[in-house]
């Protein structure tokens, strides 16, 4: 039986006492790609952030299990070390910290056994080549002065290096031109077999390149419809109005 990585049960989440997520249930197995689609403010990013453990989000009821374990008490860094990864919609910049140093330190902290400098260099070279990234990236400061597309590429580079079991991709497709989108999609597809993916997106265009097993439609903090890839196509054509009726 395929391993269940993420099991979310009747989850309710508030930010500053305002309810955002109001009863979500979801199960992702290894090798599955789930897409969550919805309008701005429907609670998509909140879901990704709360799974990763963002301190501003409060779970008011319901549970999140990761690899069979309730993760309510796990710190953010512990979740990362347990194999969870969040590709940020708006990654923070860390001035003065070089990308190369940051990647090396992150890999060392997340993996049980840190690769030797030589192994690390080799992995890094391959991953950067795969994402068509120039080596000059490594000496720049993390996300500092990066364009939207550069930031997203760096997120995917981190995903390739950190080799997560569960990847949460929060609007990774926004701000990318079509070539960059294809490269990022290739990156996701490269890890998808061994990973559980939760892709959060507005648009269907990424889902043309990364085939989801399940698409969920999120409205006002609730999943109102789940289905196959055809659901994404329907949303693209018809918008969300039809789904409002399902609330």
Partner 1 sequence: MTQDAQDAVGDYKYGFHDPEDATIRFDKGLSEQVVRDISELKGEPEWMTDIRVKAYHHFMEREMPTWGNCDSLAGINFDNVTYFLRSSDKTEKDWDDVPDDIKRTFDRLGIPEAEQKWLGGVTAQYESEAVYHSIREDLEEQGVLFLDMDSGLKEHPEIIKKYFGTVVPHTDNKFSALNTAVWSGGSFIYVPKGVHVEMPVQAYFRINAKNMGQFERTLIIADEGSSIHYVEGCTAPTYSTDSLHSAVVELIAMEGAKIRYSTIQNWSANVYNLVTKRGVAHKNATVEWVDGNIGSKLTMKYPAVLLKGEGAHAEVISVAYAGEGQHQDAGAKVHHLAPNTTSNILSKSISKNGGRSSYRGMLQVTPKASGCRSKVVCDALMLDEDSRSDTYPTMEIGNSTADLEHEASVSKVSGDQLFYLMSRGHTEEEAMGMIVNGFFEPFTRELPMEYAVELNRLLELEMEGSIG
Residues in region 84-113 near partner 1 by CB under 8 A: 85-86, 88, 90-97, 102, 105-106, 109-110
* Closer to partner 1 by Cβ: residue 107 or 232: 107
Q: Whose CA is closest to 173, among 128, 203, 137, 133? A: 203
* Closer to partner 1 by Cβ: residue 106 or 174: 106
Binding flag, residue 76, partner 1 (CB under 8 A): yes
Q: Are residues 192 and 33 in contact, defined by beta-carbon separation less than 8 angstroms?
A: yes
**Stretch of 20-28, 70-78, 130-138, 171-179 lying at the interface with partner 1 (CB under 8 A):** 70-78
Minimum distance from residue 157 beta carbon to partner 1 (Å): 12
Dist CA 184 CA 68 (whole Å): 30
What spatial distance separates the first Cα and last Cα of the chain, rounded to whole Å? 34
* Closer to partner 1 by Cβ: residue 9 or 144: 144
**Stretch of 16-24, 78-86, 178-186, 226-234 lying at the interface with partner 1 (CB under 8 A):** 78-86
Helix-helix angle 178-192:117-130, to 10 degrees: 130
Minimum distance from residue 243 beta carbon to partner 1 (Å): 31
Calculate the CA dihedral of residues 67, 69, 72, 74 and round it to 10 degrees: -70
Minimum distance from residue 182 beta carbon to partner 1 (Å): 26
Binding flag, residue 158, partner 1 (CB under 8 A): yes
Alpha-carbon distances, residue 144 vs 4, 43, 81, 148 (angstroms): 37, 28, 25, 11
Q: How far is CA 124 from the centre of its chain?
A: 20
Applying CB under 8 A, among 10, 70, 72, 75 the residue interacting with partner 1 is 75
What character string, x for contact with partner 1 (CB under 8 A) and - otherwise, covers 164-193? ------------------------------
Applying CB under 8 A, among 99, 128, 162, 223 the residue interacting with partner 1 is 162
Question: What is the 8-class DSSP label of residue 133?
Answer: -
Binding flag, residue 148, partner 1 (CB under 8 A): no
Under DSSP, is residue 235 helix (H, G, I), strand (E, B) or coil?
A: helix
Paired with 37 in beta bridges are: 201, 217
Applying CB under 8 A, among 141, 186, 205, 236 the residue interacting with partner 1 is 141
Dist CA 225 CA 202 (whole Å): 15
Positions touching partner 1 (CB under 8 A) are 52-56, 75-77, 79-81, 85-86, 88, 90-97, 102, 105-106, 109-110, 141, 158, 162
């Amino acid at each position: 039986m395929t391993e269940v990585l993420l099991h979310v049960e009747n989850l309710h989440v508030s930010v500053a006492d305002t309810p955002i997520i109001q009863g979500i249930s979801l199960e992702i197995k290894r090798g599955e790609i789930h897409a969550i689609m919805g309008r701005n403010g429907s609670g998509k990013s909140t879901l990704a952030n709360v799974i990763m453990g963002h301190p501003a989000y409060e779970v008011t009821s319901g549970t999140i299990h990761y690899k069979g374990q309730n993760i309510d008490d796990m710190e953010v860094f512990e979740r990362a070390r347990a194999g969870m990864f969040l590709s940020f919609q708006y990654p923070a910049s860390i001035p003065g910290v070089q990308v190369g140093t940051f990647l090396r330190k992150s890999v060392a902290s997340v993996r049980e056994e840190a690769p030797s400098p030589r192994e690390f260099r080799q992995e890094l070279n391959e991953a950067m080549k795969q994402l068509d990234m120039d080596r000059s990236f490594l000496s720049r400061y993390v996300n500092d002065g990066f364009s939207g597309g550069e930031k997203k590429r760096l997120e995917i580079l981190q995903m390739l290096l950190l080799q997560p079991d569960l990847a949460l991709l929060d609007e990774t497709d926004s701000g990318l031109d079509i070539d960059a989108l294809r490269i990022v999609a290739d990156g996701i597809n490269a890890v998808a077999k061994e990973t559980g993916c939760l892709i959060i997106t507005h648009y269907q265009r990424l889902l043309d390149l990364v085939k989801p097993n399940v698409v969920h439609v999120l409205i006002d903090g609730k999943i109102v419809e789940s289905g196959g890839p055809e659901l994404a196509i329907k949303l693209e054509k018809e918008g969300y109005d039809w789904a409002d009726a399902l609330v």
